[in-house]
Homo-oligomer: A and B are copies of this chain.
Amino acid sequence: MIPKTHRRVVLARRPAEEVAETDFRIEEAPVPAPGPREVLVRVIYLSLDPYMRGRMRDAASYAPPVGIGDVMTGGTVGEVVQSNHPGFRVGDIVEDRLGWQEYALGPGPALRWVDPSLAPISTANGVLGMPGMTAYFGLYEVGQPRAGETVVVSAASGAVGQIVGQLAKMAGCRAVGIAGGPRKCAFVRDTLGFDDCIDYKAQGDLAAAVKAACPGGVDVYFDNVGGVVSDAVFLNLNVWARVALCGSISQYNTTEPGPRLLGAFVGKRVTMRGFIVWDFSGKYGPALRQMGEWVRTGRITYKEDIVEGIENAPRAFIGLLRGDNFGKLQVKLGPDPSAR
């Protein structure tokens, strides 16, 4: 039964530095009725991702900011529960960008049908969705790894990082992760099969730890974090190294200065390139097919961190920015009909 009202999370105010729960507001709103050629989607999984911090800022970026009072933007996996569109049936599972809310009208701006027989549908927000594509294209197209090279990825147990290292192994590289705490590092090494993982929260000289884990230096650095972790990797880059700039989560809440390390990029001929997963959207098809096959056959594993209830989304997102999550963070907003 479709309820009369549902809950949604809107941006209450723009955070100055650290995001607080009071920057969000949970609202009760009427469930909208689909118009002609519209569908009503019940959101099952809401993806929480670092890029959302940028949308809370009132600044020009590659995507417009969320307005004050507007529903927070976000990737979602949901179920069509009402359809006035001939292409959709009730029960269809769709991935779309429908935001932090329990119900939404579709089709939205990023619609994709999800086949629930291939893998758990939550993976459409993860390894078989935006984070997986980010890892795939960021590593293979931006990082350009060659067999025998050393690939380092920061936030190695996160949604993107966990895939990057496995893809690096597949390409014949040495894969070294950087993650926070012994539990995450053990997972990265033992479950994901990275060659090594550095605990950036451990005592000691981080640059020396990178050097110890990468005795031949670093050829590809897939950067999700920026800041002091990246500084330590930059000091260990090899000649002709490539840096794929995917994100800089350590800098989203703060603005502390750092050492100037770009000078060494000249002699080392480092290529550093920022990218957005959308840049490769024309190539998602074959990449998703390939990744789906690897997931199905167990060559790529993944870890999700699923929080229940939309009321917990703000707190979970704040934890994400601090690295509290362990694996791809999602909020489960309601029952998953495909779950076994």
A interface list, Cβ under 8 A from B: 54, 61-63, 226-227, 230, 239, 245-248, 251-252, 255-260, 262-263, 265-276, 279
Contacts and interface: CB of A to CB of B under 8 A. Distances in A.
16 contacts: A61-B267, A62-B267, A62-B269, A63-B267, A246-B266, A247-B263, A248-B262, A248-B266, A251-B263, A252-B263, A255-B259, A257-B257, A258-B260, A266-B276, A267-B274, A272-B272
B266 A275 contact: yes
B255 A257 contact: no
A281 to B, nearest CB: 14
A104 B213 CA distance: 46
Contact of A260 (B245, B251, B272, B276): B251
B239 A266 contact: no
A339 B83 CA distance: 86
Q: 3 tightest CB-CB pairs across the interface, nearest first? A: A248-B263, A62-B267, A265-B274
A12 to B, nearest CB: 24
Contacts of A256: 260
A267 to B, nearest CB: 4
A62 B239 CA distance: 8
A239 B273 CA distance: 12
A173 B278 CA distance: 28
Contacts of A269: 62, 273-276, 279
Given A272-B271, A279-B269, A263 B226 contact: yes
A258 B61 CA distance: 22
A262 B256 CA distance: 13
A239 B62 CA distance: 8
A276 B271 contact: no
Contacts of A239: 62
A256 to B, nearest CB: 7
**Residue with the highest number of chain B CB atoms closer than 10 Å, among A226, A230, A251, A260:** A260
A20 to B, nearest CB: 21
Nearest to A254: B260
Nearest to A243: B272
A269 B273 CA distance: 6
A153 to B, nearest CB: 15
A257 B258 CA distance: 5
A11 B335 CA distance: 74
A272 B270 CA distance: 8
Contact of A245 (B248, B266, B275): B266
